[in-house]
Amino acid sequence: MSELQKTESALVNDLEEFLRAFKDRTGNYKYFDRINNLMAANSTSLVVDYIDFDTFKPDLAKLITNEPDEMFDAFTRAIFNVLYEIHPDYANEIQNNIKVRVGNYTVQKSLREINAEVINKLVGVSGMVVRSSEVKPLAKKIGYRCLSCSEITEVQLRGLVLKKPVRCSKCSEKELEMDPDTSIFIDFQMVRLQELPEDLPAGHLPHYLEVTIIGDLVDQCRPGDRILLTGIVRIEQEQLSQQIKTSLFRLRMEGNNIEYLGGRTADKDSRTIERLEISNEDEKHIFALARKNDAYDILISSYAPHVYGHEVIKEVILLLIVGSVTKRLEDGSARRGDINVLLVGDPGTAKSEMLKFAAKIAPRGLYTSGRGSTAAGLTAAVIRDKSGIMMLEAGAVVLGDQGLVCIDEFDKIKPEDRSALHEVMEQQTCSVAKGGIVATLNARTSILAAANPLYGKYDPFKNITENVNLPIPLLTRFDIIYVIRDIPEKEKDHRIASHILELHRESESTGQYLIDIDLFSKYLAYSKTMEPKLTVEAIDKIRDYYMKMRNVESEGMITVTPRQLEGLVRLATARSKLLLKDYVDSDDAERAIYLIQTMLETAGVDVNTGRVDLGVLHGKPQSEISKLKLFMEVFNGLSGQDKNDVEEKNFINELIQTGRFSEEDAKNFLNKAMQNGQIYERRSGFYAKA
């Protein structure tokens, strides 16, 4: 027996001893039990905690880092030996697929430190998944059958390259064909891992690394997930063409284990196997918080405590993060459950701060700014990989599926790119038809957008559509539009100044979160899972309000549409979810009505009449429509049946006599009608209908 073989079998024996003998704190045989459960779980891989291994066999733990291939082979054999004694049939069945995965691995590197020194070593890297390819079969072992003597020559996979044998090992025949029965294939996927935004040094481009994932790790991480990947660093040679290879190599990583980064905070130590783990301890804290009498106020004041005031806006953003329940109807259609909010406001009113905080605390939140966002970046792009595969790269709203996307500078996005959001905001899907890929992706996301007024500051004498450079169909898709105005008030300004200056003094009292930010995030994640039902009282409240708003004194004036009615239901349900209730009661309905009423009093007021009129958001308010009607009636009356020219002076006098127009108004309407092409000037001072 050679020295190497002896050490190899000795190594397998050592590892078997570890798997059989290791006990956890409670005295259970941890890994023996796990191997025993492999068959029941129909699993082929065993996760070994690195810290357990390090305490039991410290001399071998170093080998895992420096010689991972040998160690993993030995581990596989050791697991097979233990499993063979318990379930021999299952052991033989999965013999080729047994994998050991290293969890809780302590040798952490950043993506920038993956270099030539760590080739063929095991390292742990944290990053964000930005792209994943389709799943393909990879040949682990291929059998080539000789056409003359039927002898099978087997070839093993080395790295990612298989060399086909030149001739048969028995009769030297050159004609060989692949034999699928004796070949072994496993699932294979390519994933791109990119540096986490908080790890990025200022002024640098984020580094990325291609990762190959095989076996049961495939499809475990989606684009947008923050993961901690343990794997072996490999190299592969760059090729200029089929024949010419260069002396340049490329680093690639072979995935061994995936863990999700747990906490919201910047430390990398909290990691879980699940996406966001809520323990029983957390659940107790969450319910204790929800049972408090002032729970609602505590939640609102814990949201962005460094921003003074704006309680109503903070409340609406919390409701948006929690969202309502998506209803599936029997005919297969769905009623949207996500709430969309638009903040329009003067510069310096902390809009971006509130958006950033929302992206940080939401269970799945993304922040993007409008200036550099394209339609492909917001929805999805189709790219051709270097291997020629067409890959779908997810954009912001697809990465934020079942979470929220904050879009700052919403008015600065190019109009053709902004139109991609129409479908996302109402149908909650995003359709792509490019390069032979026709796909409809889920984009069940809430959109929180912030826009600046057209001329710097919000002009209270103009309606909202004239203040914001946004198309009307997009405005109507927002459940709530709030106008934040910066009006000087002595007392309020004094309080804001004190608050900001206290923050700069770094005193303890101001920056204190009332709820710990990690618990806050878990609370919101937990409340997202609630599904409260509407009560009769809440339905009556909402119906009465809707009927009252539809029935307004002046003729033909619409204040609310069925879209606002759905918005009311969504807000009431979200408030009930936020307080972890099973039913939506009349308090929730009242609060939703208050929030919609607040919006109507700021954004929904027709500045010409001073009355609430939702026509403002839908294009023209009723006051303008009825004036336009009167304007055309007077014009038609003066031109008569013979379509005579109308003299400007007469016409303006007639309009003033109706009592609805001042002289300035009449001239404005005349100019507008000319611009719109309703009338034209036939000769100086005389007009005719176009």
CATH at 635: 1.10.10.10
Beta strands 99-103 and 108-109 are unpaired
Q: Which of 86, 103, 120 is a domain's end point?
A: 103
| Same-domain check for residues 231 and 304 | no
Q: Is residue 611 part of a domain?
A: no
pLDDT digits (tens, 9 = 90+) for 330-354: 887 778 888 889 998 888 888 888 8
Q: What is the pLDDT of residue 610?
A: 63
CA distance 585 to 572: 8
| Same-domain check for residues 523 and 466 | yes
| Same-domain check for residues 292 and 441 | yes
CA distance 554 to 612: 11
Residue 496: CATH number of its domain: 3.40.50.300
Number of structural domains found in the chain:
4
What is the chain's percent helix, strand, coil content, to nearest 5?
40, 25, 35
Helix (H) or strand (E) holding 295: helix 295-302
Q: Which of 58, 88, 103 is a domain's end point?
A: 103
| Same-domain check for residues 248 and 395 | no
- Phi first, then psi: give them for residue 628, nearest 5 degrees: -65, -40
CB 406 within 8 A of CB 451: no
| Same-domain check for residues 93 and 58 | yes
- Phi first, then psi: give them for residue 296, nearest 5 degrees: -60, -45
| Same-domain check for residues 592 and 651 | no
Q: Is residue 523 part of a domain?
A: yes
Q: Which of 252, 272, 292 is a domain's end point?
A: 272
22: how many CB neighbours lie within 10 A of its CB?
19
Q: Is residue 616 part of a domain?
A: no
Beta strands 99-103 and 45-49 are parallel
| Same-domain check for residues 418 and 557 | yes
Q: What is the pLDDT of residue 264?
A: 44
Residues of the chain with pLDDT under 70: 1-6, 159-160, 224, 262-277, 386-390, 507-513, 552-560, 604-631, 633, 637-643, 657-660, 676-677, 680, 682, 685, 690
| Same-domain check for residues 74 and 161 | no
| Same-domain check for residues 455 and 493 | yes
CB 35 within 8 A of CB 29: no
| Same-domain check for residues 309 and 429 | yes
What is the residue type of 431? S
Q: Which residues contact 287 (CB under 8 A, 6 or more apart)?
A: 580
Beta strands in 598-648 (DSSP E): 605-606, 611-612, 646-647
Q: Which residues contact 238 (CB under 8 A, 6 or more apart)?
A: 245, 246, 248, 249, 250
CB 326 within 8 A of CB 337: yes
The boundaries of the domain holding residue 683 are 622-689
| Same-domain check for residues 594 and 651 | no
Q: Is residue 580 part of a domain?
A: yes
Q: Is residue 617 part of a domain?
A: no
Q: Is residue 607 part of a domain?
A: no
Q: Which residues contact 135 (CB under 8 A, 6 or more apart)?
A: 187, 188, 189, 218, 219
Residue 32: CATH number of its domain: 3.30.1640.10
Q: Is residue 614 part of a domain?
A: no
Q: How far is CA 214 from CA 137, 169, 254, 485, in A?
A: 9, 30, 8, 55
Q: Is residue 610 part of a domain?
A: no
| Same-domain check for residues 18 and 147 | no
User: What global pTM score does this model have?
Assistant: 0.71
Q: What is the pLDDT of residue 625?
A: 63
CA distance 394 to 381: 7
